Amino acid sequence: MEKDINYYLNLEWTLIEGEDLDFEGNPYHYVEIKEIPSFVFCAKTKEKALSGYKEQLKWTLQIMLESGDKIIEPGEEDNEPDWESLCP
């Protein structure tokens, strides 16, 4: 099976949802993807964050594929050390 952009877009990514405040104290919502630590998508509402993150995910995955980066799939173990537990 060829692992192209459509393959990766249809995986069951582990979403991390949250809410925070911007620099002016206004709330915003975000979606992170556990398997792609550099990924985060922000919007003013939870609904917009959940409906909009896939477009940014598409571009992120496209860049990773073109760069030959390793894409960790949901359920796959990351071989990267747990730096937080290693550093005092």
Note down pLDDT in tens along the chain; length 88 residues.
789 999 999 999 999 999 999 999 999 999 999 999 899 999 999 999 999 999 999 999 999 999 999 999 998 876 666 666 677 6
**Which residue segment(s) compose the domain that 68 sits in?**
5-74
Q: Is residue 85 part of a domain?
A: no
CATH code of the domain in which 10 resides: 3.30.160
| Cα 48 → chain centroid | 16
Q: Is residue 83 part of a domain?
A: no
Q: Is residue 48 part of a domain?
A: yes
Q: Is residue 86 part of a domain?
A: no
| Total domain count, the chain | 1
Q: Is residue 80 part of a domain?
A: no
What is the DSSP track for 26-80? -EEEEEEETTEEEEEEEESSHHHHHHHHHHHHHHHHHHHHHHT---PPTTPPP-S
Q: What is d(CA 59, CA 65) in angstroms, rounded to the nearest whole number?
A: 10
Q: Is residue 52 part of a domain?
A: yes
Q: Is residue 84 part of a domain?
A: no
Cβ atoms < 10 Å from Cβ of 81: 9
Q: Is residue 16 part of a domain?
A: yes
